[in-house]
Amino acid sequence: MDAVTNVPPPHNEPVRQYPPGSPDRAVLESKVKELAGERAELTMTIGGRSGWRAGSRVDVVAPHNHRHVLGTLRNVTGQDVAAAIDAAAAAAPAWRALSFDDRAAIMLKAADLLSARGGRRSTRPPSSASPSRCTRPRSTPPAN
């Protein structure tokens, strides 16, 4: 049976200008001050397990001030690459077994989590990342 998937139309994040005195600028400046004293520990996740790896330590610095360290990460090693390849190969059959609609729902949810909304203040309904978000209408057999 042929079916057509209804993919939701794309939408862009609002473009903010942050003029002096605006509420958006006040929120941004407050967040920058809050994060200025923190150092993020940027771990890797391989096969569903997050943590530090054995590679050499690298400081992640602010692009405008290289003396200001934002966080720390570890370079990958050959062992990390092999583990990531093995984890991807192990996950591939389950991913391939998902329908297009289920894979699309996962990618839409990932996009929401990566957006400025962070999945918390989404304007979409709560069911927006469910497989029903990209539904395939059932085809009816042609009348004879």
- The 10s digit of each residue's pLDDT in 29-82 is 998 888 888 888 889 899 988 888 888 999 999 898 898 898 999 999 999 999
Q: Give pLDDT, residue 128.
A: 39
Whole-structure pTM over 0.95, yes or no?
A: no
User: Which pLDDT score is estimated for 15?
Assistant: 82
Measured in degrees and rounded to the nearest 5, phi and psi for residue 109 equal -65, -40
pLDDT at 78: 92
Q: How far, in Å, CA of 134 to CA of 126, rounded?
A: 14
Token pair for 33: 């001050």
Contacts of residues 80-88 at CB distance under 8 Å and 24 or more positions apart, as own/partner, are 80/44, 80/46, 80/53, 80/54, 80/55, 83/46, 83/47, 84/46, 84/47, 86/47, 87/46, 87/47, 87/48
Strand partners, 41: 72
β-strand partners of 40: 71
Tell which wins on pLDDT, 30 or 144: 30
